[in-house]
Amino acid sequence: MNTAPFFSIVLPTYNRAAFIAKAISSVLDQSFDDFELIIIDDGSTDNTKHVVDSFADTRIRYIYQENQERSVARNNGIKQAKGNYICFLDSDDYYLNNHLMILYENIKQHNFPIALFHTYQTYVKNEQEQDYTIVDNYFNDKFSESDCRLINNVWLFSPAVQTVAVHKDVFVTIKFDSFPIPFECYDFLGRVAFQFNVFKINERTVIMQMHDGNSTAYDFKFLERSEIAFNYILSNPIYANIKNHFSVRAKMYSIYIGLADYYSRNNNKLLSIKNILKGFGYSIKIKNWRMVFGIIRNVILR
């Protein structure tokens, strides 16, 4: 009798034939081997299927769907998953070979709870590691445990979905929302953290490759989508108690000041001023005064 694997890894992909072989290999090379890999091809038009077919491993399942974006692809993978805990990987990223073992050991240590576990990621661009700061241990007894988990897992530092292992029972009520792309993971992690415990593992076990094709490349479109997505996320009643928390205000401030900077450099004075005022409605950071002064100068002189 076949037994369910401990982990199901859901890997959505779209026209990533040049990257996906490394992602697949990183899963197959795991020191913990009780898993299945579910590849959801979201309507690729390149030779992705040919690359997948080159791996002769019975733990791999390939499923093709018409292009519907990665949230639908992830939800489809979740629906197909047989594992007790579900993990995720994007086709242009990869696991270090101890990723699943570290997750398993920590899950076992905590007696296999219905919860979310995560490690941390390393960003790599042009083969160089990118530094970033992790700030996710905030606690304030004025807030509930759920509110503090929201602050830590969405607003101060949102763990990459590629680093998580989520108990299958979580997905009875929670799925990925397709609207706030490319921030659907923030939305998903917030809804999980509000209801379930989050266990942090201080190990970097996932490599995230930064390249021109990333959907989260930092530019004007990123900022524009950020404003829409985070306002949508904040409309969820689970954030009612923390809307004025400094972490939320800082995030929204940075988005609006970034937009104001873009518009000031592109001679759109009205939109620049509007976004400065929106930013000031959330926060005024003295340490950013030079940037704000530069924006105001562009508005006046251009």
**Cis peptide before 182, with omega less than 30 degrees from 0?**
yes
User: Which of 183, 210, 237 finishes a domain?
Assistant: 210
Half-sphere exposure of 194 (CA within 13 A, CB side): 18
SS3 187: helix
Within a domain: 1: no
Residue pLDDT tens, the chain, 302 long? 468 999 999 999 999 999 999 999 999 999 999 999 999 999 999 999 999 999 999 999 999 999 999 999 999 999 999 999 999 999 999 999 999 999 999 999 999 999 999 999 999 988 888 878 788 899 999 999 999 999 999 999 999 999 999 999 999 999 999 887 789 999 999 999 999 999 999 999 999 988 765 554 457 888 999 999 999 999 999 999 999 999 999 999 999 989 998 998 888 889 999 998 898 888 766 556 666 667 777 777 66
Q: Which residues contact 111 (CB under 8 A, 6 or more apart)?
A: none
Within a domain: 245: yes
Do 193 and 258 have their domain in common?
no
Q: Given its phi and psi angles, is residue 12 left (phi above 0), alpha (psi -120 to 50 degrees) or beta?
A: beta
User: Which of 149, 177, 210 finishes a domain?
Assistant: 210
Within a domain: 180: yes
Do 236 and 156 have their domain in common?
no
Within a domain: 16: yes
Do 95 and 202 have their domain in common?
yes
Q: Which residues contact 251 (CB under 8 A, 6 or more apart)?
A: 155, 230
Do 43 and 166 have their domain in common?
yes
**Distance from C-alpha of 268 to C-alpha of 258, rounded to nearest angstrom:** 14
Do 271 and 174 have their domain in common?
no
Q: What is the dihedral of CA 33, 31, 101, 206, to 10 degrees?
A: -110
SS3 269: helix
Do 15 and 84 have their domain in common?
yes
Q: Which residues contact 99 (CB under 8 A, 6 or more apart)?
A: 30, 119, 205, 206
Do 51 and 93 have their domain in common?
yes
Do 205 and 233 have their domain in common?
no
Do 147 and 283 have their domain in common?
no
Residue with tokens 């979905």: 161
Question: Domain residues for 38?
Answer: 7-210
Do 21 and 97 have their domain in common?
yes
Do 224 and 206 have their domain in common?
no
**Distance from C-alpha of 42 to C-alpha of 63, rounded to nearest angstrom:** 9
User: Which of 210, 233, 251 finishes a domain?
Assistant: 210
Within a domain: 61: yes
SS3 202: strand
**Distance from C-alpha of 275 to C-alpha of 40, rounded to nearest angstrom:** 39
Q: Is 217 within 8 Å of 211 (Cβ atoms)?
A: no
Within a domain: 215: no
What pLDDT is attached to residue 291?
66
Do 151 and 55 have their domain in common?
yes
The domain total for the chain is 2
**Distance from C-alpha of 170 to C-alpha of 84, rounded to nearest angstrom:** 11
**Distance from C-alpha of 34 to C-alpha of 36, rounded to nearest angstrom:** 7
Query: CATH number, domain at 60?
Result: 3.90.550.10
Within a domain: 132: yes
Within a domain: 148: yes
